[in-house]
Amino acid sequence: MGKTAYLYDEIYLEHDTGWGHPECPERLVAIDSRLKKCSFYSDLVRVKAAKADLKYIELIHSRKYIDEVKNNVERGMHALDPDTTVGDRSYDVALYAVGGCLNMCDAVVKGKAVNGFCAIRPPGHHAEKDYAAGFCLFNNIAIAARYLQEKHGLKKIAIVDWDVHHGNGTQHSFESDNSVYYISLHQYPHYPGTGSKNERGTGEGVGFTLNFPMDHGSGDDEYLAAFQGKIIPELEEFQPEIILISAGFDAHFTDSLSSIKLSTEAYQKFTLMLKEVAVKYSKGRVIAFLEGGYSLDTLSLCVKKVMEIFVHET
């Protein structure tokens, strides 16, 4: 039975988004506080935060953009776009978020753990090659995917994004690439406006982007039908060497930033299905990266449910 890894560090609380911003430090405090009460907490493999080498961030982002983020934060700018607010430490914290995720990749690929959860902020899946968007500075999961290929030689990677918002940055990072299969379920039309069914990739990547735009009010039945009817069969055909999850929990019925109606148990079911695929084709390897989720009690409970599957079903 493999172990489960966990990335959390108080440095991630130092990304100051300002009063009233939904992507707040309290999100991680709530997650860690709930997990500490779980019997499995002491057995988790702890992954350390670390500053990422810029060469890995440049696998996804332009150096010009990286420098712009650094310079804008140092100049005291309080917003990189209308939604993406920053504080004095935000650039450094974003580097530590990426670096922690890369350490998680190392831990899983080297066999120190079979799966893991990255409780990080700022989140990442909206960040594009050369601009910030939707609370995101650097695209943690996209950088991790490229790192797994560049550093560890993995050939086929699947990314499943169940955040309520489409991961435009992640999709655009890999849309012409047939080695990374990007799958997203998201409310549509909704921010950021991308993710229609006809977005299937470009060039060699055609067929390796799969979007499930969900109508207002969709819930467990619609999402489970997508998983069971299409996503799981597609993953089994693709046979990824690792599955990465953009784990946003803002499609929950209690979350104020969407009108999707998922239950807490739905996230547990999604995780179990993905783990079963990973056991067949990926040596059990699954890594979840925190994205959205803004109802603190719900967020922490959903993360606990995901971790229970990681810990008890490995």
- Per-residue pLDDT of 227-251, as tens digits, reads 999 999 999 999 999 999 999 999 9
Q: For 1-10, 115-124, 149-158, 232-241, which range has the lowest pLDDT when averaged over its residues?
A: 1-10
* CB 124, CB 141: distance < 8 Å: yes
Average pLDDT for 91-115: 98
**Which of left, alpha, beta for 207 (phi over 0: left; psi -120 to 50: alpha)?**
left
In this predicted model, what pLDDT tens digit does every residue of 42-69 receive, in sequence order?
Answer: 999 999 999 999 999 999 999 999 999 9
Measure the CA–CA gap between 174 and 194, rounded to whole angstroms.
15
- CATH code, 134: 3.40.800.20
Q: What is the DSSP string of the chain?
A: ---EEEE--GGGGG----TT-SS-THHHHHHHHHHHTSTTGGGSEEEPP-PPPHHHHTTTS-HHHHHHHHHHHHTT-SBSSSS-B--TTHHHHHHHHHHHHHHHHHHHHTTS-SEEEE--SS--TT--SS--BTTBSS-HHHHHHHHHHHHH----EEEEE-SSS--HHHHHHHTT-SSEEEEEEEESS-TT----TT---SGGGTTSEEEEEEPTT-BHHHHHHHIIIIIHHHHHHH--SEEEEEE--TTBTT-TT---BB-HHHHHHHHHHHHHHHHHHSTT-EEEEE-----HHHHHHHHHHHHHHHHH--
Whether this model's pTM surpasses 0.75: yes
Average pLDDT for 105-122: 98
pLDDT at site 274: 98
Count: domains in the chain:
1
Domain of 264 in residue numbering reads as: 4-312
pLDDT at site 314: 43
The residues carrying an active-site annotation are: 126
pLDDT at site 287: 99
Mean pLDDT of the chain: 97
pLDDT at site 139: 99
pLDDT at site 313: 53
In this predicted model, what pLDDT tens digit does every residue of 182-238 receive, in sequence order?
Answer: 999 999 999 999 999 999 999 999 999 999 999 999 999 999 999 999 999 999 999
**Measured on CA atoms in the order 170, 173, 175, 181, is the torsion positive or negative?**
negative
pLDDT at site 42: 97
pLDDT at site 1: 57
